[in-house]
Structure 1
Amino acid sequence: MGELAVPERILKWQLEVPQGQIVEESQTAGPRSPILMKSVERVSKLPVVEETVKIAMNVYGKLKGANCIFNWSLKKVEYTAAKAAESTAPLVLRLQRQIEIVDGLLCIGLDYVEWNIPAVKLPPSQMYENAKQCVSKCAQRCGNCSNAVMDCTASKLQKLRRICGGSEPTKKSEPEHIPEPEASSSAGPSQPSAS
């Protein structure tokens, strides 16, 4: 949050001359910029990130202007963040080569993501519409599949009823007469008597 509120200090800290060389500390009022990370610049230009930053800056501005205590507190946080950035500049200069290696790896990873997921370059509204269409198609397919399963199950139940001797519920036929067992002992095998 502190970085969003102090863009002037950050911009002074990361000035570039036209040839791409970093401006020395003696040429500006503040410390010289140790490194400009290309990966951070590329990520910040993605439409989703740009939109998120705009919303965050808007909310931050409203929060800061809502109350004098919030304003005072957030100014102290901004000041502390700026001082921390100034105090870490020498350390960042010492680690410049390692940071450049990490930046290169991040750029390779970003290339991979942009190549395999081109939707990251779309504006948020287009991403939303695409996701909504995808979910609608999936829900429609699931509905069609469940209807097919229900139809299949109903037809199998009807076949099973026919095999077991029951009638189909959709036909208006009289139930089949199933003969009841006779009560006399002459019909069927004789039972041994208990003596």
Structure 2
Amino acid sequence: MTGLSQDADLACRIAMLEQKLQASAAEADRLQRELAQSRDCQTASADILATIAGTSGDADRALEQIAETTARLIGASSVSIQLAENGEWGKAYRYGASARLIRAAVPLTAIKVGGKNMPGAVVGRNRQIHVPDLDNLDPDLAEFPGLPHARAAGTRTMCGTPLRNRGKAIGSLIVHRDRLEPFSDDELVLWTAKLCRPGGDRARECAPVQ
């Protein structure tokens, strides 16, 4: 009987060790994924900064490159950049069908900087607005005129981030996903890259997008 008891104890210890090994392997895999994601974000930030640096002084080209680079790096189906100055909308660039449909359906004259619309609220509130699921909107966002058009074009998840110059919001960067996939914390942090105000003969000092 003692031999049987010892065998049972040994089997139990082996099973526990196997469970610990499996847990360790799962944790190692998780850490590897996090490391890879962090490296991707670092590379993405560097790419965006390089894009901005390479287009200084060419406002239209800078907006185009930033929008297309952002879409490629984070898997966005559409990207919209809208600059603002002195309470009025200025230069803009739209990449992808959803962003273009919103622009066609909702002209800039129909939205106000600081009003109840995605770019206006991002600039007016000077903060990031994440819409994880356009089919389940927060009541505060329900009146935003562009969101129904975005959904009709296939967008399911959106996020708008202020573009800042010395802490002041000078525009919005809005990204769309055509699938239900809320942006992760790492992806949201990705937009802490610096964006220089396009235009003029030289690059101007910019504050980080936060």
Q: TM-score, length-normalised on structure 1?
A: 0.26
Question: Greater Rg, structure 1 or structure 2?
Answer: 1
Higher relative strand content: 2
Is the helix fraction higher in 1 or 2?
1
